[in-house]
Chain A
Amino acid sequence: MARDRSPAELVGAVPDATFEITFDGRPIVALPGQSLAAVLWAAGILAWRTTRVGGRPRGAFCGIGHCFDCLATVNGEPNRRACLVPARPGDAVTTQEGHGHAELGDR
């Protein structure tokens, strides 16, 4: 049984040097080539958005850029699809509340 195996071990990954990004100010480790959603999942984080109407938590769902559930605010810019955007050193991901444009007032 390969119970203790990780995905990285399975594919024999020898990644380039790790770097840090932050999620709501907290540092987390990223591998080059991972999407922001992958970095967050690896850190055990499944939600990085709250919905406009119910304020409910959401994260990655379809994983291929179709569902837009994984929208996050990245370096101050809201509505980025975390499952598509690659992580870069120093990226600041923050939980996106609603449409992400609180400065424009309620919809």
Chain B
Amino acid sequence: MPNSATDDPEYDLAVIGAGAAGLAGAVTAAELGLSVALLDTSAQPGGQFYRHPAPALGATRPEALHHDWSTFTGLRRRLADSSVTLLAGHHVWTVVRAETGGRWDVHAVTGADGDGERPVRVRARAVLLATGAYERQLPFPGWTLPGVVGAGGAQAMLKSGLVLPGNGVSPAGAKPRAGGRVSSAGATSRAGGRVVVAGSGPLLLAVAASLAKAGARVPAVVEASGYLGYARHPRTLAVNAHKMVEAAMHGTALLRHGVRLRTRSAVTQVHGSDRVEAVTVSRLDRDWRPVRGSGRRIVCDALAVGFGLVPQLELATGLGCTTRRAQDGSHVLDLDAQQETSVPGIWAAGETGGIGGAQLACVEGELAGLAIAARLGGRPAPAGSARARALGRRRDRMRAFASVMAAAHAPGAGWSRWLDDATDVCRCEEVSAGRIREAVTDFGARDARTVKLLTRAGMGWCQGRMCGAAVACLAAEGPGEALPPSPERRPLAVPVRLEVLAALTETAASESGDPEASAAREEGTGG
């Protein structure tokens, strides 16, 4: 194994993210002889799609909560058999060009939540960004009440922690039962909580099916779009039969559990004082404007909500990688046929190039692994090989489906009509829709950045991940010409303690061998 754990290892390739794309890229590159570091925030590989319980939970049938689990176990086996160095619990906060030519420095903080442990630098000749995606959220009255959770969040908590949201146990009733009666049932959710699943996108069906199989009651799945958007592209559907099979499996599971699917509808109000007690579901017109008087109340204990996924691009935009806008308006990385970004030496695979799912991510990761191995080996791009050609065809076919999907679930412009002025849009800084509208109509803000500077919306802990899409829409509603939206540029991808930044300056200075520079910088950071 080349360049294994030394104090300051240098690798051929650093892969950021150990989900489907990152795993496929890392094992492919390692199998072709590259030394590879694979960094991920979690304690175990799998990313969000293949998220699974920790070993101590002793899940004997983890596949019960997964579609296509064997793909993951295959990748996991190849990882175990490979020379890849898995760096679990590593939260990468920036990637920068190293002082030595042709190298990249990947900086990470470590630990379960990146807090309290040592900072790490990994140097590599190439970087594969496989940072995946997070959920797009659109606010609505009551969405900050406890019991309203992300649809992907509910899925993640179920897959890793074996728990359901809002299982109906009151805090007073949650005390452990006496003595030996405290069993595993006391620490994983009991059945029976009512969870409405709402938003838009194919993830909703998967989430609802998982929740129902795990014992939740799902009174309704509420989808803001119709499914007609898919029907306009019969050819793309026909060559992506696996997606139809997957949808049919979820649909069958929902039917079996008696779950009702309401399309062209949205949750427009959550009721409850300190936690969810009910939701109002309203019909939407084709632009997602709620139809007046169509609201119906559904009693429930929790709401799992999400409006599709958006690529996680902080590291890429920090490096200056070019983005383009996808059919749903989100920013995605602009990649060439070999999965390379506009910055030579920086590759990307999976959701960072547009939301397309785990199978596409595997294909792109493998393609990137092939291309990176060829580049670092001084060989021409592998596009001519049979393996690369076959992968390229599969990628293009699945990308076509992803485009249809993005267009079918693109948020309609009318969604903001279900906001009232009191609704907090920015959850972190508690900035209401009314204050954002004031910034737009009275103070002339025309983009999310100006709204942020005027109101603090998007300035908090989550760095605009939860409210960014909504704020951009509200800013575009102002009078006159809206500024074309640009991708967020956030120099730090995760929160980093000042002491980590200070230590970085010391390291850089001591590496330069100039003690005076070192002392000067220490003073600078202490001021």
Q: Flag the segment in B164-172, B338-346, B484-492 that touches A.
A: B164-172
Alpha-carbon distance between A67 and B458 when the two chains are bound, in angstroms: 11
B70 located at the interface, meaning its Cβ lies under 8 Å from any Cβ of chain A in the complex: no
B163 located at the interface, meaning its Cβ lies under 8 Å from any Cβ of chain A in the complex: yes
Q: Are B149 and A60 in contact (CB under 8 A)?
A: yes
Q: Are B54 and A32 in contact (CB under 8 A)?
A: yes
Convert A15-45 into 0s and 1s, putting 1 for each residue whose CB lies closer than 8 angstroms to a CB of B.
Answer: 1101010000011111111110111011111
Alpha-carbon distance between A1 and B59 when the two chains are bound, in angstroms: 22
Would you give the shortest CB distance from B312 to chain A, in whole angstroms?
A: 8
Q: Are A66 and B188 in contact (CB under 8 A)?
A: no
A2 located at the interface, meaning its Cβ lies under 8 Å from any Cβ of chain B in the complex: yes
Which residue, of A62, A80, A85, has the highest number of chain B Cβ atoms within 10 A? A62
Alpha-carbon distance between A8 and B183 when the two chains are bound, in angstroms: 11
Q: Are B184 and A13 in contact (CB under 8 A)?
A: yes
Q: What is the predominant secondary structure among interface residues of chain A facing chain B?
A: loop
Interface size on B, residues (CB 8 A): 82
B235 located at the interface, meaning its Cβ lies under 8 Å from any Cβ of chain A in the complex: no
Q: Which of A9, A32, A52, A63 contacts B150 (CB 8 A)?
A: A63
A57 located at the interface, meaning its Cβ lies under 8 Å from any Cβ of chain B in the complex: yes
B174 located at the interface, meaning its Cβ lies under 8 Å from any Cβ of chain A in the complex: yes
Evaluate whether A6 and B215 lie within 8 angstroms (CB atoms) in the complex, with A28-B174, A43-B169, A62-B150 already known. yes
Q: Which of A2, A13, A61, A86 contacts B112 (CB 8 A)?
A: A86
B158 located at the interface, meaning its Cβ lies under 8 Å from any Cβ of chain A in the complex: yes
Q: Which chain A positions have C-beta within 8 A of B270? A: none
Which residues of chain B from 414 to 436 have a CB within 8 Å of any chain A CB?
A: 424, 427-430
Q: Are B275 and A46 in contact (CB under 8 A)?
A: yes
Evaluate whether A11 and B146 lie within 8 angstroms (CB atoms) in the complex, with A44-B167, A67-B462, A81-B113 already known. no
Q: Are A1 and B257 in contact (CB under 8 A)?
A: yes
Alpha-carbon distance between A44 and B275 when the two chains are bound, in angstroms: 11
Q: Are B174 and A43 in contact (CB under 8 A)?
A: yes
Alpha-carbon distance between A27 and B53 when the two chains are bound, in angstroms: 23
Alpha-carbon distance between A39 and B144 when the two chains are bound, in angstroms: 21
Q: Which of B56, B155, B214, B430 contacts A31 (CB 8 A)?
A: B56
Which residues of chain A from 61 to 100 have a CB within 8 Å of any chain B CB?
A: 61-69, 71, 77, 79-81, 83-86
Q: Which of A26, A31, A32, A58 contacts B188 (CB 8 A)?
A: A31
Q: Are B60 and A13 in contact (CB under 8 A)?
A: yes
B186 located at the interface, meaning its Cβ lies under 8 Å from any Cβ of chain A in the complex: yes
Would you give the shortest CB distance from B417 to chain A, in whole angstroms?
A: 23
Q: Which chain B positions have C-beta within 8 A of A42? A: 161, 163, 167, 186-189
B248 located at the interface, meaning its Cβ lies under 8 Å from any Cβ of chain A in the complex: no
Could you list which residues of chain B lie within 8 angstroms of chain A, going by C-beta atoms? 41, 43, 48, 53-62, 64-65, 112-113, 115-116, 134-135, 144, 146-150, 152-158, 160-171, 173-176, 182-192, 212-215, 217, 256-258, 274-275, 302, 424, 427-430, 460-462, 465-466
A–B complex contacts, Cβ < 8 Å, 11 sampled:
A11-B64, A12-B61, A13-B53, A31-B56, A31-B188, A34-B57, A38-B161, A56-B144, A62-B465, A67-B461, A83-B157
